[in-house]
Amino acid sequence: MTNILLITFAISLIYLGLANRLGSYINALVFQGIVLFGVAFIELIEINLINLVFVLLETIVFKAIIIPYFLNYIIHKNKITRDIEPYLPDFVSIVLITGIILGSFLLSNSIQDSHVRKIFFVVAISALFTGLYIIVSRRKIITHVMGFLVIENGVFILSIALGNEMPMLVNIGILLDIFASVFLLGIFANKIGDVMKEQDVEQLSNLKD
């Protein structure tokens, strides 16, 4: 069952390459949060109860409800346009994301380690690099945060793979979530959308002393 959920997660990564609205990105993030809830529930059922409840609450409340709601709120509040404005055409995106999945697949096959199950490793690494790719190839600051959330989902998967042995790693994954919320708060508090008219990182290069 975990394998099915992880493959579904990988499909949502491909969907990120196809989508061209901010709304679709938020939906994909909600979906990923729900999938991660399922994975965490199945995999971490053996750790102690308080930790488990904390992890599950974190996945379902933070990843699937609060952060997407807050993203939506920021998009409406700062009047950010709905298009994600990629630097590269979508076809290149989807080819590259497929390449990322294939590459992480080959990479994980060359690693001889019995501690991590390979399917977790494949999906986690591909989520990491997909998030990185989204950060590099999209123009808006809000999409950079979304790319960071995808990266952080990847870290979470990797930490779940080791969750039974070291619950500390799971907690580090959750810390990343809070880090991302601080990012969002920064955008929200500084009203970057209002101050700069457009949240375009290219405008940062116009800054001078």
Partner 1 sequence: MNILSFILIVFASLFFSGIIIRTKSIFSGRKGPGIFQPLKDIWRLFRKGAVYSKTSSFIFQIAPSIYFASVLMAICFIPFGNQPGIISFKGDFIFFAYVLALGKFFIIISALDTGSSFSGMGASREALYSLLVEPAFFILMGSFALLTGHTSFFEIFSSLHFGSHISYAIGILAAFVFVIIALIENSRMPMDDPKTHLELTMIHEVMILDNSGFDLGLLLSATHLKFAMYGALIANFFLTPNYEWYYSIPIFISSQILFAIVIGTIESFMARFRMNHNPQYIFMLTSISLLIYLGVLLILGKIV
| Residues found near partner 1 in the complex (CB under 8 A) | 1, 3-4, 7, 10-11, 14, 17-18, 89-91, 93-95, 97-98, 101-102, 105, 108-109, 117-119, 122
d(CA 73, CA 55): 25
**Nearest to partner 1 of 95, 168 (CB atom):** 95
In the bound complex, what is the minimum distance in angstroms from residue 93's beta carbon to partner 1?
7
- By beta-carbon proximity to partner 1, the closer residue of 10 and 180 is 10
User: Please, what is the minimum distance in Å from the beta carbon of residue 13 to partner 1?
Assistant: 9
| Nearer CB in complex with partner 1: 90/200 | 90
Q: How far apart are CA 20 and CA 23, in angstroms?
A: 9
**CA-based Rg of the chain, rounded to a whole angstrom?**
17
Q: How far is the CB of 45 from partner 1 (least distance, A)?
A: 17
Q: Measured on CA atoms in the order 65, 192, 186, 136, is the torsion positive or negative?
A: positive
The CB-of-154 to partner 1 minimum distance in angstroms stands at 16
Q: How many CA atoms lie within 13 A of 115 on its CB side?
A: 8
Longest dimension (CA), the chain: 56
> How far, CA to CA in Å, does 154 sit from each of 62, 81, 131, 176, 199?
15, 27, 9, 11, 26
Nearer to partner 1, 32 or 108 (CB): 108
